[in-house]
Amino acid sequence: MAYEPNRISRRMVLAGLAVGGVGAIIGCRPDERGSSTSVLQPNLDATLRIGVSRDLANGVEDPYFTHTSLMVHEPLIRLGDGLEPIPWLAERWQVSEDGLRWTFALRRGVTFSDGQPFNSAAVIRIIERNIQITPRTSPYTVMDARVAYGPIAALRPIDDFTFEIVHERPYPLLEATMSNFFSAMFSPNSFAPNGDFVGIPATTGPFILRQWERGQFAILERNDTYWGQRPRVRRIEVRVLPDPSTRVSALRAGEVDALVELGAILPVEADQLRTNPDIVVGADPISITQYLFFNCSQPPFNERRLRQAVTMAVDREEITRVIVRGYGEPGKSLLSVFSTRWFSPKGTPRYDPAEAVRLARAVLGDRRVAAVLPYADGSGQARPYKEIAAVLQTIVRPLGIDIRLQQLEAAALADVTNRGEWNLRFGQLGWANGDPDFILGNFLYSRGAANTTSKGGYRNEEADQLVEAGRQERDFQRRYAIYERLQEIAAEEAPVFALYHEKSAYAHHRRIRNLRQRLNFQPTFDTVEKL
C-alpha cells in the first residue's frame, strides 16, 4: 500500500462540510488595518525579534535539542495543515502486503549544516540513537522509540537513499507515530556515545541554531544552503519572557517585533492589544483540546445517565464565547474539529438542559450527590479552569449534583489524579501525531492512560475491540469507520467530552507580514517578512 497524499474520501468531504462553518471563523484573522505596509518591500536581511513564553531550545540532554517551532530540524514525515502525514525528508514510502515491511525513499540533495550528507546511514544512526535513549523525557514530547517506530525486527539500508523498517507484527500507525519530533533528523556527528548531543546539533532545516542560553534566548540564522524555499528574514532572535504581562510590555516598548507560539498572549491581553493601532492581533487554531473527564469507576459517575446529564447541561458555545473569550471553538468531538480528516459530527454531544434534568431525576430522584472537581489554576497559560469550574458547579446543581471545587497546584493535582481521588477533572491534550488512536486509544480504551494512570476507569467492550481493530487496520475507509463509531460511543456514553478546541493568540507590529501559527503551534518563520 503506497502513501497517497491527495486521497480524499466522501466521508472526509462530508466532515469537511460539517465543519466548514468553523473554517470560515477559525482564526480570527489578523486585522488588516494599515494596509499601507503592503506597498513596502520586505527586507531580506532583516532580524526578527520574537518573544515567547517558554524555552524552545533545551540543551544536549533533550532528545530533540530544540522544539519544532524553531524550524531547525526537520522530520522524515511532517504533519500538514489538517494534521495529515505528508512527505518531507522522506519523499515517499510504502508498506508491503503483509504490513511488516516499510520502505522509505529519502529526498536527495540534502545536506546537514555541518556538510554531512543526508542519507540512509544517517537516518538509521538517528533511529538507533532514539532506541538507545528511550525513554527520555522532554518538555516537548517524551522520546519513546517503542511508540515511535513500533515493534522493530530489523532496520537496514537498501541503498544510499532508501531504507526499510521491518516489524515483528504489522504496525499501521507508523506514518503517524514517526511524524514530526519522532523522525527529526540530525547529523550523525551530533551525538555522544550515550546518545546526548555533543553541542548544538547540525540539522537540515531552513534555520540554523547559532547560539542559545537556557531561559534567555535562541538565535537563528537563515540556512543559505537550504534545499527548499529559503526564509525571508536573515536572522531571528527568540527571547524567552516567562511573565505574560512582561511579554506584552516588551511588544509595546518595541523590544520585540512579535509575540507568538504556544501561550504567547493571554486572551484578555490580546483583546487589550487590539486597541493598539500599531499592533496586529490574530488567533489561529491549534491542536490542543480542553476536556472534562468523569471518573467512571466510582459513584456518582459510574452511572452513565448522570454523565450524560452533565454533558447535556454544559453549554459549550457559551463557555467558549464568554469564559474563553472566543479563543476557541466549542467542543464538537473528542477529535479536534480543526482536523477535518478524522472528525465526525456523530461525536458531538447534545446540549439539552431539560433532558439533562430528566435524566438526573431518573437516577437520583430527590437525592443529592457530591462530586469533587480538583483543578489547577491555569490562568498563566490562558486556561480559565477556575471560571469554568465555577460555572459547572452552578449548572449541575439543578441536576442534584453538588460539586466541591478543590484548587491545587499542578504537581498535587497530578497526584490526586493519579490516585483517583476525583469525580470530575479537566484535561488537555495536543493532538501530537494527528492519528485518532492517539486520543481515542488513550481516552476510550480500558487500558489507555486516561483510564489507568489517571484512573478514569472507563470500560466498554465494544470500544476496546474497536481500538484494537483500529491499531491493526490499514485501509483508510475502514479505519475512518472505526474511529467514527468510537466518537459516537464517546457522545453516547460520555466518559469524557470536549469543552473547547483551542485557538492561540499572537500579536506583531505592523512592519511584520505573513506571521501565523500552524495547528502544531509552529509559527510561520519560513514565510514571515519584515518590512
Partner 1 sequence: MSILGYLLRRALVALTTLVVVSVVCFLLVNAARGDPALIALEQSGETPTPDLLAEYRWQLGLNSPLPVQYVRWIERVVHGDLGRSILQRRPVATILGERVWPTLQLGLATLAVSTLAGVVLGVVVAFSRAPFVDVAIRSAVVVAAAFPSFLVAIGLIMLIGERLRLVPVAGYGSPQHLILPVLALSIVPAASTLRLTRSAVRSVLAEDFVRTARSKGLAEWTIAVRHVLPSAAAPLIASVGVRFGQILAGTVVIETIFAWPGMATAVITAISGRDVPVIAGYVLITGTLVIVANFLTDLVTRLVDPRVAAGAR
Stretch near partner 1 under the rule CB under 8 A, chosen from 20-28, 198-206, 225-233, 423-431: 423-431
11/136 with CB nearer partner 1: 136
Question: Shortest Cβ distance from residue 246 to partner 1 (Å)?
Answer: 5
Residue 259 makes contact with partner 1 by CB under 8 A: no
59/80 with CB nearer partner 1: 59
- Among residues 16, 23, 27, 59, the one that binds partner 1 under rule CB under 8 A: 59
Count of residues engaged in binding partner 1, rule: CB under 8 A = 50
Secondary structure of 204-263 as H, E, C letters: CCCEEEEEEECCCEEEEEECCCCCCCCCCCCEEEEEECCCHHHHHHHHHCCCCCEECCCC
Taken as a whole, the chain contains a residue count of: 531
139/299 with CB nearer partner 1: 139
Tally of helices (H runs) and strands (E runs) in the chain: 15, 19
Residue 352 makes contact with partner 1 by CB under 8 A: no
Nearest in space to 186 (alpha carbons), one of 171, 212, 208? 208
Question: Shortest Cβ distance from residue 454 to partner 1 (Å)?
Answer: 6
Residue 286 makes contact with partner 1 by CB under 8 A: no
Residue 137 makes contact with partner 1 by CB under 8 A: yes
Residue 144 makes contact with partner 1 by CB under 8 A: yes
Stretch near partner 1 under the rule CB under 8 A, chosen from 134-142, 298-306, 320-328, 358-366: 134-142
Question: Shortest Cβ distance from residue 242 to partner 1 (Å)?
Answer: 6
Cα(511)–Cα(128) distance, rounded to whole angstroms? 45
- Among residues 139, 199, 299, 398, the one that binds partner 1 under rule CB under 8 A: 139
Cα(164)–Cα(421) distance, rounded to whole angstroms? 46
Question: Shortest Cβ distance from residue 378 to partner 1 (Å)?
Answer: 12
Residue 198 makes contact with partner 1 by CB under 8 A: no
Residue 142 makes contact with partner 1 by CB under 8 A: yes
- Among residues 166, 250, 390, 405, the one that binds partner 1 under rule CB under 8 A: 250
With beta carbons less than 8 A apart as the criterion, state whether 420 and 414 touch: no
Q: Restricting to residues 427-466, which ones interact with partner 1 according to CB under 8 A?
A: 428-430, 432, 442, 447, 449-450, 452-454
Backbone angles phi, psi at 319, to 5 degrees: -60, -45
252/361 with CB nearer partner 1: 252
Would you state the cell numbers that stand for residue 523, as one nine-digit string?
509559527
- Among residues 5, 199, 254, 299, the one that binds partner 1 under rule CB under 8 A: 254
Residue 177 makes contact with partner 1 by CB under 8 A: no
- Among residues 88, 104, 140, 342, the one that binds partner 1 under rule CB under 8 A: 140
Residue 120 makes contact with partner 1 by CB under 8 A: no
Nearest in space to 173 (alpha carbons), one of 196, 206, 150, 199? 150
196/526 with CB nearer partner 1: 196
Provide CB contacts within 8 A for 515, sequence distance 6+: 258, 260, 506, 508, 523, 524, 528
**CB atoms < 10 A from the CB of 168, how many?**
11
Question: Shortest Cβ distance from residue 129 to partner 1 (Å)?
Answer: 15
Residue 268 makes contact with partner 1 by CB under 8 A: no
**How wide is the angle at C-alpha 98 spanned by C-alphas 95 and 100, nearest 5°?**
60
Which regions of 47-161 does DSSP assign to beta strands (E)? 47-52, 77-79, 85-87, 90-95, 101-106, 152-159
Cα(504)–Cα(506) distance, rounded to whole angstroms? 7
CA distances from 166 to 24, 103, 438 (A): 43, 9, 22
Burial of 487 (0-12, 13-18, 19+ CB in 10 A): buried
Residue 418 makes contact with partner 1 by CB under 8 A: yes
Q: Chain centroid to CA 452: how far?
A: 22
Residue 61 makes contact with partner 1 by CB under 8 A: yes
**How wide is the angle at C-alpha 42 spanned by C-alphas 37 and 46, nearest 5°?**
120
* Interacting residues with partner 1 (CB under 8 A): 58-59, 61, 135-142, 144, 213-216, 239-243, 245-246, 249-250, 252-255, 288, 408-412, 414-416, 418, 428-430, 432, 442, 447, 449-450, 452-454
